[in-house]
Amino acid sequence: MANVNTFRESTRAWLEANCPPSMRQPIVDFEDRCWGGAKWKFVSEDQRRWLDVMAERGWTAPDWPSEYGGGGLSKEESKILREELYRIDARTPLFSMGLFMIGPAILKYGSEALKRQHIPDIVKGKIWWCQGYSEPNFGSDLAGLQARCEDKDDHYIINGQKVWTSYADRADWMFCLVRTDPDVVKHAGISLVLFDMNTPGVSTKPIKLISGKSPFCETFLDDVRVEKNQLVGELNKGWKLASYLLTHEREMIGNMGQAAASAKTLHQHATDVVGLENGVLNDSALRTDIARWEIDSKAYELTAERIRDETQAGQGTGATSSMLKYTGTEINKRRHELMLGIYGQQALGWEGDMFAGGTMASQWLRTKGNSIEGGTSEIQLNIISKRILGLGATG
């Protein structure tokens, strides 16, 4: 316990000295959250410094091995660091697909050379990763994907099209699911490869969403050359990695609402806008809706915590990421519907300073995609039915 206490004290002191005050303010705009990457424009010198000092200690990836630039912290120490960051409302220094998705996959399945090449850059936020999964005809039915990857002796050539590639126009590298064997059942002929988005033959086209924003692109792959050492794991065993990555993605998407919710509670918004009378919100129907949402939101947080604790204690049912993804995204959608209920037409303003450029409406609309991306709510319910409840055609 002594070491733990020392670690907490030294961490607290270090954060106090190194986390700039502006990095303790709530995240408002997309760019307030640092995604890193070669093309990243830091919103402030503080944002750059905060990333640099944290990355230097490996604390952007606290529990990754220090030999690849990670923090090398134990679970207990990582938890203390999280708590201390939370205590001062520090923004996460780096939020990236590298950290949440491809990094863990490379650490688990990648070759030593791949780890040495990619992990330190992920920790430092130098590379913006995007994922090449969905294709125009293969969304929920992901394993049917057709992007063809042919063996050309000393390299691969890829031809095909990806869609819903997050920020492909800003990304530096892609981790991409490709078909390496077209003659076997669909799950058995898939591989995971990595390539630079500047490779000749890679082109992107943004997709405009109902929110007015374009966070996703179509990505076209025409005779794209990929080096053989950029294959992650074994050839034709990519579906296992895809499942692993989808699990991470589900957890990340399920959690997104919580990060946003922590800035200001729904009832604080309501209190500011609707007002209290004798300490009670001046709209009893809204009050009940908010209370029900806050109870569900807290229940979701506690469930994520309980499942982590159960895993650590070697208990639990497993296969819970689908349940967390389903509940987390549905709860987040409800949150934004309630924001509309609180702010009324103010939340539906689309243009101009009066409506902060339509931020609230845009965010509300964006959440509608949460229960589609990373496997729809219906796919998650299918997974729960089959894998956890054992319900199926044959019983």
Partner 1 sequence: MALVLNEEQQMLKESARGFLQEHAPLAQLRRLRDERDAIGYSAESWAQMVELGWAGILVPEAYGGLDFGHVGMGQIMEENGRTLTASPLFATAILGVSALVLGGSDEQKKTLLPAIVEGSLTLALAVDEGPKHKPAQVTMTASKGGAESNNLKLNGAKQFVADGHVADKLIVSARTSMRSSAHSSTHSSAAPDDNDGISVFLVDRDAEGVTVERVMMADSRNSAMVTFDNVVVPQGAMLGQAGKGLALIEGLTDIGNAHLAAELLGISLEVFERTVQYMQERKQFGVLIGSYQGLQHRAAHLFSEIELTKSVVIKALQALDEKLLDKKTLDENSDAASLLCSMAKAKASEVAALATNESVQLHGGIGMTDEYDMGFYMKRARVAEHMLGDQRFHQRRFAALSGY
Residue 34 CB, shortest distance to partner 1, in Å, is 31
| Cβ pair 89, 20 in contact under 8 A | no
DSSP state of 66: G
3 state DSSP class of 121: helix
Chain centroid to Cα 112, Å, comes to 25
Strand-pairing partners, residue 175, are: 131, 194
- Comparing CA positions, the residue from 135, 155, 322 lying closest to residue 223 is 155
Shortest Å, Cβ 143 to partner 1: 19
For the four alpha carbons of 256, 69, 54 and 128, in that order, the dihedral sign comes to negative
Q: Which is nearer to partner 1, 177 or 273 (CB)?
A: 273
CB nearer to partner 1: give 185 or 285.
285
Rounded to whole angstroms, how far apart are CA atoms 192 and 93?
28
Q: Is 220 helix (H, G, I), strand (E, B) or coil?
A: strand
Rounded to the nearest whole angstrom, what is the least distance from the CB of residue 352 to partner 1 in the complex? 30
Residue whose CB is less far from partner 1, 184 or 381: 381
For residue 233, list its beta bridge partners: none
Least distance CB 40 / partner 1 (angstroms): 37
Provide the minimum distance between the beta carbon of 297 and partner 1 in the complex, in angstroms, as a whole number: 10
Q: What are phi and psi of 272, to 5 degrees?
A: -65, -40
Q: Which is nearer to partner 1, 31 or 310 (CB)?
A: 310
Min dist. Cβ of residue 271 to partner 1 (A)? 6
24, two tokens = 């303790």
Q: Phi-psi bin for 42: left (phi > 0), alpha (psi -120 to 50), beta?
A: beta
With respect to partner 1, which residue has the nearer C-beta, 84 or 289?
Answer: 289
For residues 21 and 395, which CB has a smaller minimum distance to partner 1 in the complex?
A: 395
**Distance of closest approach, residue 21 Cβ to partner 1, in angstroms:** 27
Q: Are 122 and 190 in contact (CB under 8 A)?
A: no
Q: List interacting residues with partner 1 (CB under 8 A).
A: 267, 270-271, 276, 278-281, 287-288, 290-292, 294-296, 298-300, 302-303, 305-306, 309-310, 312-313, 315, 320, 323, 326-327, 378, 380-382, 384-386, 388-395
Instruction: Name which of 141 and 151 has its Cβ closer to partner 1.
Output: 141
